Amino acid sequence: MTDKLRICLAQINLTVGDVEGNAERIAAEIDLARAQHSADLVVFPELALCGYPPEDLLFHSGLQKRVLDALEMLQSRATGISVVVGFPEFDGERIYNSAAWLQDGDLCGIYRKRCLPNYGVFDEARYFTAGTDALVQSIAGVRVGVTICEDNWESSVAAADAVEAGADVIVSINGSPFEVGKQQMRESRLAERARELAVPFVYQNMVGGQDELVFDGGSCVIDGQGNTVMRCPPFAEGLFDVQFERRRSALLPLANVPDELPANDELVYTAIVTGIRDYVTKNGFGGVVLGLSGGVDSALCLALAVDALGAEAVQAVMMPYHYTSPMSIEDARQQADALGVAYQVLPIADMVEVITATLHPMLGGMPADTTEENVQARCRGLLLMAISNKTHRIVLTTGNKSEMAVGYATLYGDMAGGFAPIKDCTKTLVYRLARYRNGLSPAIPERVIAREPSAELRPDQKDSDSLPPYEVLDPILDALMIEDLSVDDIAARGFDRELVGRILDMVRRNEYKRRQSPPGVRISGRAFGRDWRYPITSGYGRRS
């Protein structure tokens, strides 16, 4: 007799804290998986009931009852189909990151995550107690073992225990956020586990944005020889099927060889669009407003916002001053017209003059410096925040990672806002993304991409007046942030040591600014945010 098993992977977008809404969505997907996909088993993401990551919501007394009520409701819906769904399990003073196996109206088993990540953006040791036992359930003549996310990455113990308990296949539910190169790493690690244990792995992941994290899905199936035989499209919601058959002694997934993964720039662009869309919509904003300066950063942010929300939800504002070039004004209007967004010009000269006059009794005898430049930026920030207050549109800031790193941004000026789409994009990546977007359809004037970057806060200003070329700056920043290298380590790669020391000192001195900046989409292995925790007050200097 040939055992057949059809597993349906629910690659869906859920909302942290919306337990009732998440449960209703999960219940609807259970019904679809049973009625339209004839699935034996449908699998949902890690902590699907409360959303991932729930953070300190787990400590709130009301969450436990909501989760228990939702799990009871789903249990009643699991008839004629088996369901694996992630949830926070409360057991006295302990909380477990668990997966429930629901079948025929019963809670047949619970698996508790055994490996709790406590690095990067993860701090699960703060919340959860590690489990100790395997869970294996039989369905359609196939023994299915369950693991959760980190259980498969640094060790094969959890999966090995499931195989020892008789598992023919491992189903892993995940809350794994996107970063460049992440899918290749996932599939490589799963392939190692599959070859080591000689069983297939079914990897299921969520999609959608949650604050600075973006989840890309990438659910996939690896056969017992370590080959990727199925891959769900990145950032796409849906129910995706895989069928297994037992032939002789082997359990084989019947699937076609998947398409190649999209290029990194396409994935990054889609990740940022997803992050903007979900941050704005899940938080109930009516749209976005941003300052359109005529430079490449704001131009890219405008295109991203339109692709995320639609032109009708985007307001662009040009706020020229004496140093704003005619080219910038022309290019900003051209882009706004091309993308069909509402566009307004609000000159700031009168505002700057009033503030300068007000400050004159105290500062009038002092030489001009960045103070006057920052007044311009803060006037612009004030206008955008006023528009945001009145229209209920969140302000998108347009600073990139290179600028955030070295403090080339004005606190309470161009840093004022609610969300920072390209906060984790270096300037060199910004240029690549701009060209990628123009490859889809005309969106950013070519002159905006080709011109030398300038903040236009003083006559003939260029970024290169204060910073090294971005093709030099960005690799130095990556070496510091991603690799944690010292000045000497980075200089050994051929960079001028004095320059490296100056850049790292700028990074250190501007931590206080970044602590007050809005969240932004994380797309790299380390972003300014939850996985960058440097002290503001520090004597660690350029010799280090």
Report, as residue numbers or ranges, the catalytic residues: 46, 113, 149
Distance CA 285, CA 294 (A): 26
Place of tokens 């699960």: 124
Buried b (16+ CB within 10 A) or exposed e, 437-476: beeeeebbbeebbebebbbbbbeeeebeeebbebeebbbb
- Between CA 357 and CA 259 the distance in angstroms is 63
Closest CA to 194 of 219, 165, 172: 172
Q: Which two tokens stand for residue 144?
A: 């299915």
Question: Can you name the residues that pair with 5 across neighbouring β-strands?
Answer: 244
Kindly give, in sequence order, each residue whose CB lies less than 8 Å from that of residue 359, ignoring residues fewer than 6 positions away. none
Q: Please answer whether residues 6 and 255 qualify as being in contact, where contact means their C-beta atoms are separated by less than 8 angstroms.
A: no
Is 121 exposed, middle or buried (CB count within 10 Å of its CB: 0-12, 13-18, 19+)?
Answer: middle
CB 514 within 8 A of CB 404: yes
Place of tokens 């001009």: 368
Q: How far apart are CA 421 and CA 305, in angstroms?
A: 9
Cα–Cα nearest to 46, from 238, 207, 191, 199? 207
22 close to 156: Cβ distance less than 8 angstroms = no
Q: In whole angstroms, give the CA distance from residue 119 to residue 442.
A: 41
139 burial via Cβ count (<10 Å: 0-12, 13-18, 19+): middle
Q: How many CB atoms lie within 10 A of CB 422?
A: 28
End-to-end Cα distance, the chain: 67
What amino acid is encoded at 160 in this protein? A
CA-to-CA distance for 135 and 493, rounded, in angstroms?
49
Distance from C-alpha of 244 to C-alpha of 199, rounded to nearest angstrom: 12
Read off the tokens for 184: 């290749």
Residue 272 phi/psi, 5-degree rounding, is -70, -40
* CB hemisphere CA count around 244 (13 angstroms): 30
Q: Which residues contact 536 (CB under 8 A, 6 or more apart)?
A: 511, 512, 515
Amino acid at 208: G
Distance CA 345, CA 338 (A): 16
**Is 264 exposed, middle or buried (CB count within 10 Å of its CB: 0-12, 13-18, 19+)?**
middle
Strands (E), 260-392: 288-291, 314-318, 342-345
